[in-house]
Amino acid sequence: MSNSAIDAHFRDGCEQGQLRLQRCTACEYVQFYPRVACSACGSDQLKWFVASGQGKIASYTVVRLPISQQFADLVPYVAALVDLQEGPRMMSVIVDSSPDQVCVGQAVRLAFRQWGSAEQQPIFTVVAPQN
């Protein structure tokens, strides 16, 4: 799907249970998805690091119609935009919770799991509220 070494490095991270992000050494901006240059300042001096896995739900929906057969057993499921603690936002899914346990602003934690036909995709679980 992509012959990019950057995309491959990100993919290797997933297989090792790491969400790899890029930080710009010139301006400190952290970006996702990975790119050849900093999307804030244009510098190509980027350093990979592993995300903490902490995030918050920016928005979510419940997918009730599968886009294709490969997602048919998964519906209904919660898809969400997650704001990572390090700054960037990413698309993902929230697993192991019913939709009514999910809300905007909810804290979530990263995990890796098979999703659709792909192994080791970054997914998130709801962080249990502290008593």
Q: Which residues bind another protein (CB under 8 A)?
A: 1-2, 7, 32-33, 58-68, 70-71, 74, 79-81, 89-93, 99, 103-105, 115-116, 118, 121
Q: CB 96 → another protein: shortest distance, Å?
A: 16
Q: Choosing among Zn ion, another protein, none, which partner's interface includes residue 108 (Cβ < 5 to 8 Å by kind)? A: none
CB 106 within 8 A of CB 121: no
Q: Which is nearer to another protein, 14 or 54 (CB)?
A: 14
Distances (CA, A) of 101 to 4, 28, 58, 62, 130: 38, 35, 15, 12, 14
- Residue 24's nearest CA partner among 32, 16, 13 is 32
Residues forming the site for Zn ion (CB under 5 A): 24, 26-27, 29, 38, 40-41, 43
